[in-house]
Amino acid sequence: MHEASIVAGIMRIVEEEAARHDVTRIARVRLRVGLLTGVEPRTLTACFELYSEGTVAEGASLDLETVPALGTCHACGATFGLHRRCFACPACGNDDITLEGGRELTIAGLEVPQPEGATA
């Protein structure tokens, strides 16, 4: 289960950024997760809940955005975005494709709660 080590690294970064900006609480962590990373979203979320206990991110929501891979078909030349793990060309069905991207895992943003009485 590599999700645990991924979340441990994310929590290290979250804690460092919170300290750097004098933030005592994080309300939301937004992640961009590539389709081909092999990360299981439910496991990542469960690990986040566990690892965030007792930190500035305790109780924070974890928002995951899946980043598609880009495919090129060698049979028909089509280029396409791959939004699910189906490794065939949507135009011709051939599986002789080249994939690019979809392997990123980045922190897209950290959100802090609004101060009491603040208006949006």
Residue 68 is classified by DSSP as: P
Average pLDDT, the chain: 94
Spans of all domains in the chain? 3-67+102-111
Question: Which of the following CATH numbers is that of domain 3-67+102-111: 3.90.480.10, 1.10.1040.10, 3.40.120.10, 3.30.2320.50?
Answer: 3.30.2320.50
**Rounded-to-integer distance, Cα 108 and Cα 28, Å:** 11
Residue 2: pLDDT band by 50, 70, 90 thresholds? Answer: confident
Map tokens 């986040």 to a residue. Answer: 48
**CA nearest 59: which of 67, 68, 48?**
48
Residue 44 has pLDDT above 70, yes or no: yes
Give the predicted TM-score (pTM) of the model. Answer: 0.83
